[in-house]
Structure 1
Amino acid sequence: MELNVLSLLGKQFVRRISTSACACGKRNFKKFPIFNKRGTRDFKARQAKNPHPDVPIHTYGVRPIGYKSGTSFVTIKELIPEMIVPDLTGFKLKPYVSYRVNDIVQPPMTPEELFGAVYVKKIAEDFKSGKLGPDNEPLEPSPEERLTPEEAKEKVLSIRSDIV
């Protein structure tokens, strides 16, 4: 071991040179993570047979579809994504909407507008053809007009639960 001493303005600087290997050959590989695709073929083969617990298996942001129990992987059916695609045979519209289409801004419907959209046409037809009774009730009501308020509410709730 060689020792160099330098003094400057009353301070002593010592420079030492070591001939032994730094950290006895150990390297800090925690700074360099080796994920699935990195490493040699031998490393990948060893990881496939017996994965080392300190080397994480990188999933690239994909959520797991189960959990590991001992040495086996248990798949949970509810975690597998299910793609629901409607049958579009005979569908005339094309799937592309141009960005040049103007935005349509429509305020929410008021009860009066909803009544006008659903019932006014039928009431006007019944009035013109004289199919209204003495209390302005239809003589030939449609199936929707025959419903009681409770039946109408149940029908709306069943349609809403089918959608959700």
Structure 2
Amino acid sequence: MSEYTSKRGSRTHNKGRGSRPTGRKVASNKFVSVRQMIPEFVVPHLEGFHLRPYVSYRAPRGSEPPLTAESLFDQTVAPQIRQDFEAGTFSKEQLQKYGFEPTQDGKLFRLFPKNYVR
């Protein structure tokens, strides 16, 4: 099957390119542009930046091991917990201090035990 484009639909069908509209249509069938819906690209100032955007395939592999959840925990949270435990201020009821969140309400991505492709 060939790609489904706007040429294959009816005269009124416009598939577009996947971008979102930057405004709303009002009752009089006019398009009103909304400034908050227009994407704003923030480009950093790169004057004096010596790295180049290309990495050669001949470059040697990185020497660091891959980042896992356990290594990330050991590097960031474990020292704080160990320090509080030795000082006697560690409490199981105050885990929010170390970044633990008991609920996932309001999060951008919900974490499920298994993320199935649906």
TM-score relative to the length of structure 2? 0.41
Larger of the two Rg values belongs to structure = 1
Higher strand share: 1
- Structure 1 or 2: more helix by fraction: 1
